[in-house]
Structure 1
Amino acid sequence: MNLNSLRPAKGAVKTRKRIGRGAGSGLGGTSTRGHKGAKSRSGYSKKIGFEGGQMPLQRRVPKFGFKNINRVEYKAINLDVVQKLAEAKNLSKVGLKDFIEAGFISSNQLVKVLGNGSLTAKLEVEANAFSKSAVAAIEAVGGNAVKL
């Protein structure tokens, strides 16, 4: 075997189609583009959402509503959950770090404590927001709500 005798495997190399090189090639004339129409023309590129001239879906379907860019999304945590967490870990102060460790929120979420359930322990609760009923329930048992 020599370098000059090396050949690709049989059938491994295909000859490319030479399109538009005369009628004798079998690929002249329309150059495999069919007859007429936009797709046969040079420079054709279909616009995104184009449906052949019919009114496109994105224009047929009406728009509605809007997205408020100033919306602040809170993860809601009820007082009964705070109570259970405090009992389980024997805490007197419950903060965001405790919620993250317990798996209630991820580190980039904001917390709002809601007043559902009852609180029996005197706790200092730290959160980004509180409902009025939650603040009232926390202060009723002698604790305090600290807004971050």
Structure 2
Amino acid sequence: MRLNDLRPQAGATRRKRRLCRGISAGQGATGGKGMRGQKSRSGGGTRPGFEGGQMPLYRRLPKLKHFTIVNPKHFTIINVGDLNELEAGTEVSLESLLEAGILTASNGPLKILGDGDLSVELAVKAAAATKSAREKIEAAGGSLELI
């Protein structure tokens, strides 16, 4: 036996379907695609996951409950009421709060929340602040600068 003697086993290979080559080919005229419709046209049908313009499943699912945020923002948070311990005219930042012992750990940039009342004039530098926190700081005569 030599390489040129090798042949596939009988029945192992089938001839290629010859589409649109007349009725005797078995797939003439429409080429096995039926009569009309998007899937019968040239250029194929739709992309995988397309649902006729309806919001597809892979885009609907993350809007449901119990899906975690992929890249959540982590902030070191403090309430406006906790800033009353500081002296008037103090510049408040994440570093100054850690040095003063008001905050014990840094979990990311500083965010000021609006719980409590503020009676001290402070110059606050933070990454984020709520609307109520901004109003309370400015009402006390202080300023808020977003970094």
> TM-score scaled to structure 1, two decimals?
0.48
> TM-score scaled to structure 2, two decimals?
0.49
